[in-house]
C-alpha cells in the first residue's frame, strides 16, 4: 500500500502505518484508523522486514506495531525503526500482557503499549497523546510497569540524585505534561526539556517517559 498524498489545500492528516501480519485484523484496524477524524492509515505491512524497507522513506507520524510477526518480531522491528526514524512515534498494539514483553518493547524504544481491545476513542486519544510527548499505555499495562518497579525497588533501591531542575521536570512529567507544556511551565525551550529528560533517563537507568514516571512514583512510595 503506497503512502497517501494529501492535497495542498487540505489540513494535513496524522499519518499512521500499521504493522500486523493477520489479514483480518489488519483490515479491521486499517478501517478503524481511517474512520478516526484527523488520521489516515497510509500503509499496512504484514512483516517487520517489509516495514523496515518501506517505512523510512516517507517517515510517518505514528507506527502501530504488533509484537508477534513472522520471522522478525515487532520488538526487533521497533528497535531498528527507532534508529532510522527517531522522531516517529511507535505504539505497540498487541493482545499480549506479558511483563517481560512489555519491558522488552519499552527498552527497544516503543513510545507506548496498548492492548488490541483498546476502544476506538481510547486509541485516538493515545495517538494524540504520544504525538504530544506522552507515553500512553493501557491501564493494565501501566499497572504492571508500576508493580515491576515496586518489586525491583524492594530488592534494591539505589539513590538517584537529580538536580533541582531535573526533579522539577520529572514532577511535571508525572502530571502528564508534554515536553512543550513543561517548557512553558519552567520558561525554557522544548530542546532544553529534552536535554533534561535525557539526563534523567541516564541517572534513573530507564529508557522511556513511562519508566521514569513509574520509577518516580515508586521512589516516593
pLDDT tops 50 at residue 22? yes
pLDDT at 7 over 50: no
Least confident interval from 50-64, 190-204, 207-221: 207-221
Q: Above 90 in pLDDT, residue 42?
A: yes
Averaged pLDDT for residues 14-34: 94
Q: What is the CA radius of gyration of the chain?
A: 18
Question: What local confidence, expressed as pLDDT, does residue 152 receive?
Answer: 56
Domain 14-138 CATH class label: alpha beta
194 burial class (0-12, 13-18, 19+ CB within 10 angstroms)? middle
For residues 22 and 24, give the distance between their C-alpha atoms in angstroms, rounded to a whole number: 6
d(CA 5, CA 119): 28
pLDDT band at 40 (very low <50, low <70, confident <90, very high): very high
Q: How far apart are CA 118 and CA 111, in angstroms?
A: 16
User: Could you please report the per-residue DSSP string of 143-160?
Assistant: HHHHHHHHHHHHH-----
Residue 64: name the closest of 118, 140, 4 by CA.
118
Q: Where are the alpha helices (DSSP H) in 55-132?
A: 74-84, 99-108, 120-131
CATH code 1.10.10.10 region(s) in the chain: 152-220
| Fold of the CATH domain 152-220 | Arc Repressor Mutant, subunit A (1.10.10)
Cα dihedral 36, 42, 48, 49 in deg (nearest 10): 180
Distances (CA, A) of 33 to 2, 37, 121, 122, 182: 16, 9, 10, 12, 29
- Which helix (H) or strand (E) covers residue 35, if one does? helix 23-35
Q: How many angstroms separate the CA atoms of 72 and 75, rounded? A: 8
Q: Residue 201: phi, psi to the nearest 5?
A: -60, -45
Query: Which of 201, 171, 204, 208 has its CA nearest to residue 186?
Result: 171
For 129-167, the pLDDT digits (tens) are: 899 888 888 777 776 666 665 565 555 555 678 888 998
Q: Region 171-180: what's the mean pLDDT?
A: 79
Burial of residue 131 (CB within 10 Å: 0-12, 13-18, 19+) is: middle
Amino acid at each position: 500500500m503506497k503512502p497517501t498524498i494529501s492535497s495542498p489545500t487540505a489540513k494535513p492528516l496524522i499519518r499512521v502505518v500499521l504493522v500486523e501480519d493477520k489479514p483480518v485484523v489488519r483490515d479491521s484496524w486499517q478501517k478503524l484508523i481511517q474512520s478516526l477524524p484527523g488520521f489516515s492509515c497510509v500503509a499496512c505491512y504484514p512483516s517487520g522486514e517489509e516495514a523496515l524497507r518501506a517505512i523510512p522513506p516517507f517517515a510517518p507520524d505514528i507506527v502501530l506495531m504488533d509484537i508477534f510477526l513472522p520471522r522478525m518480531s515487532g520488538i526487533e522491528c521497533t528497535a531498528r525503526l527507532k534508529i532510522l526514524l527517531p522522531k516517529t512515534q511507535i505504539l505497540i498494539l498487541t493482545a499480549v500482557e506479558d511483563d517481560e514483553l512489555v519491558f522488552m518493547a519499552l527498552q527497544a524504544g516503543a513510545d507506548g503499549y496498548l492492548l488490541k481491545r483498546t476502544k476506538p476513542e481510547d486509541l485516538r486519544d493515545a495517538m494524540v497523546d504520544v504525538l504530544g510527548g506522552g507515553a500512553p499505555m493501557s491501564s493494565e499495562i501501566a499497572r504492571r510497569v508500576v508493580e515491576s518497579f515496586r518489586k525491583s525497588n524492594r530488592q534494591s533501591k539505589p539513590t538517584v540524585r537529580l538536580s533541582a531542575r531535573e526533579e522539577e521536570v520529572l514532577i511535571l512529567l508525572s502530571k502528564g505534561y508534554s515536553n512543550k507544556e513543561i517548557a512553558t511551565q519552567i520558561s525554557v525551550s522544548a530542546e532544553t526539556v529534552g536535554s533534561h529528560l535525557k539526563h534523567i533517563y541516564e541517572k534513573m537507568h530507564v529508557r522511556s517517559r513511562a519508566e521514569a514516571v513509574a520509577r518516580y512514583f515508586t521512589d516516593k512510595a
